[in-house]
Structure 1
Amino acid sequence: MLHLHTTAAMLRSLVRLQSHVGSILSPTQMCPRSQQFRFALNYSSATAERRRFYQDVSISQGEGGLYEINLDRRKLKTPGGNLFTVPNEALAIAVATEWDAQKDTLKFYTMHLSTLCNTALDNPTHRNKDQMITAALKFLDTDTVCYRVDEPHSLVELQKNEWDPVLHWMENRYNVTIGSSSSILGPEIPEATKDTFRQHLKSYTFWSLTGLEYVITQLKSVVLSMGMIDRHLTVEQAVLLSRLEEEYQIQHWGNVEWAHDYDMFELRARTAAGALFVHLTSESSTVKRKLMQD
């Protein structure tokens, strides 16, 4: 059971990250690579800003026990025209918090939970669970922590010291062999390993797979994503490990400060939203409120 104060704490952290992203750059200032990446993943996340057109945000329970989001008295709908409904109260609260946190201007590109819900509801690519699992597992062949460098020695040691413990945890946790390689072809992942992960991911709901695939795409790593979803890594740790080589180069050659800050906050916000989405759609998410005592 997910307690209200736990959900609220996670949301406050996420909203702070989203606020950082929105305050650093406007959508028109994003680098071309980020714009292309966003469009490919978030078909429903408009980059144009819009003035806030509602005063109050609320949730209500509709048919089949599903929860709806209300902007004033109007029911929220998806870009595909479907009624915006979510499977449990905790996720409804999370989405409503995103909408309520918007100020005078709606910054849709910061509303990651809403976008993930839109994607799950509209399913614009018309995929089923098996296709989503196959797409997610393709990242295992090019996993960030599996590709190692030959030089310089300091980076070789850094990758070994930082990535090996997570990789070994993953192998022990799921009783699989993954390995690493400095070859341009990367390590050869055994089919038995892929079969194990495939069976594990089949236990996820369609909604949870939507969130998991999103996280894997952000980190470009199944290992780091599963480590975070299984609560072995924090969001901050997973993001730093995914950017290990980039951070190493920055320490040696410097960086453009605003660009580094934007990339870091953006990746943290997306990763945190994806992880929260997975947890809210895969666990018992009825909100438990404390009773007021006289």
Structure 2
Amino acid sequence: MSTDDFLARFGAAGQRQPDPVAAAQKAMRNALPKRFYESAAAIERDGLFHVALDGRTARTPARNPLAIASRDVAEALAAEWQAQEQVVDPGRMPLTRLVNSALDGVADQQDAVRAEMVRYAGSDAICYRAGEPEALVARQNEVWEPIRRDVEQRLGARFILAEGIVFAPQPAPALKAVEDAVATIPAPVALAGAHSVMTLTGSALLMLALHFGLRDADAVWEAAHCDEDYQIGIWGQDEEAAERRALRRAEYDAAVLLLTRG
């Protein structure tokens, strides 16, 4: 199987980010191809950094060159390909899948991706708080409030808090501030990373906290799992849930790299 054939069959492209659990499960159901190349490396050509398999530029499912402006991202991509052993397993290649999505989907849908980020901010997860139990209310305030305030200060805008699941519209100036902020995220690679961070955390404000450098990747991940970790503290965590979370974290780490280094 050639590089192009493999990427056409197994690469993940599209306008939305793939679910990491579903992607991994699908990959396991397929007969994985044997590794068909000796080496993977990042090579600079024509002002871009190409992922080269045995010297040949790999291509996305839409047959775009797997080439980007960031050396760091290209080297991480090449390392992901090099880490494949007897078979090439797309379930273990979250960065490749996300970059494919950036080059094949986000590149042509930049306005739609940015608009979706603004819509997320309009019903952002960290603006909706529990009314009970008291311990969860306190935990959400402890974890989310400092982040919300810091993002508000950076944006120069205020967001409305709501209790429960009743929709509370956010002020137009706040959404305009988010629109202006996401307009500064470079496309397509960093923008794809930002979108994926947002969908994996359920929060545009958490994504912006990372983008602005107000919080690091671990702090944002922990904030996104505030409710889940509260429940784990009460009931414990089962093995399948832990595996799903580990897969999401791999997707998240890939997205963070694109957002911060793309």
TM-score higher than 0.5: yes
Tell me the SS of whatever aligns to 2:64: coil
Aligned to 1:83: 65
The separation in 1 between residues aligned to 2:21 and 2:142, in whole angstroms, is: 35
Structure 2 letter corresponding to 1:81: R
CA-CA distance at 1:177 after TM superposition: 0.6
Cα RMSD for the two superposed structures = 2.3
- Shift of residue 268 of structure 1? 2.1
Q: Describe the SS at the equivalent of 1:59.
A: strand
Inter-partner Cα distance in structure 2 for 1:84 and 1:254: 42
Structure 2 counterparts to residues 80-229 of structure 1, below 5 A: 80-123=62-105, 126-127=108-109, 129-207=110-188, 208-229=190-211
Q: Which residue of 1 aligns with 2:44?
A: 61
Unpaired runs of 5+ residues, structure 1, are: 1-35, 282-294
- Higher RCO (CA < 8 A, seq sep 6+): 1
| CA–CA distance in structure 2, aligned partners of residues 89 and 255 of structure 1 | 38
Deviation of the 1:171 alpha carbon: 0.9
**Structure 2 counterpart of 1:260, one-letter code:** A
Aligned-pair identity in percent equals 25
- Relative to structure 1, the CA distance from residue 232 to residue 157 in structure 2 (aligned partners, 3 Å threshold; closer, same or farther) is same
The CA deviation at 1:126 is 4.3
Match of 2:243 among 262, 276, 283: 262
One-letter amino acid matched to 2:102: A
Quote the Cα distance in structure 2 between the aligned partners of 1:259 and 1:39. Answer: 11
User: Which residue is 1:249 aligned to?
Assistant: 231
Q: Matches of 1:157 and 1:104 in 2, distance apart? A: 49
Distance 1:214 1:38 in 2: 11
TM-score by length of 1: 0.74
C-alpha separation in 2, matches of 1:202 and 1:185: 29
**Is the 8 Å Cα contact of residues 60 and 69 (structure 1) preserved in structure 2?**
yes
Q: Residue 44 of structure 2 aligns to which amino acid in structure 1? A: Q
Alpha-carbon separation, structure 2, partners of 1:50 and 1:134? 38
In structure 2, do the counterparts of structure 1 residues 239 and 263 end up closer, same or farther at CA, with 3 Å as the change threshold? farther
Contact 1:235 1:268 in 2 (8 A): no
Structure 2: distance between partners of 1:101 and 1:39: 20
**Local SS of the residue matching 1:169:** helix
Aligned counterparts of 2:138 and 2:94: Cα–Cα separation in 1: 35
Contact 1:139 1:221 in 2 (8 A): yes
**Which of 34, 57, 68 is the matching residue for 1:51?**
34
- The alpha carbon displacement at 1:264 in A equals 2.8
CA-to-aligned-CA distance 1:38-77 (integer Å, 9 cap, x gap): 499x7xx9564332221111222223x1222111133211
The count of aligned residue pairs is 240
Using the TM superposition, give the Cα deviation of residue 252 of structure 1 relative to its aligned residue in structure 2, in angstroms: 1.3
Change over 3 Å in CA distance of 1:212–1:270 after alignment to 2: same
Gaps of 5+ in 2: 1-17
Shift of the alpha carbon at 1:124? 7.4
For the Cα contact (< 8 Å) 2:49–2:71, is it kept in 1? Answer: yes
For residue 176 of structure 2, what is the amino acid of its counterpart? D
Residue 121 of structure 2 aligns with an amino acid whose one-letter code is L
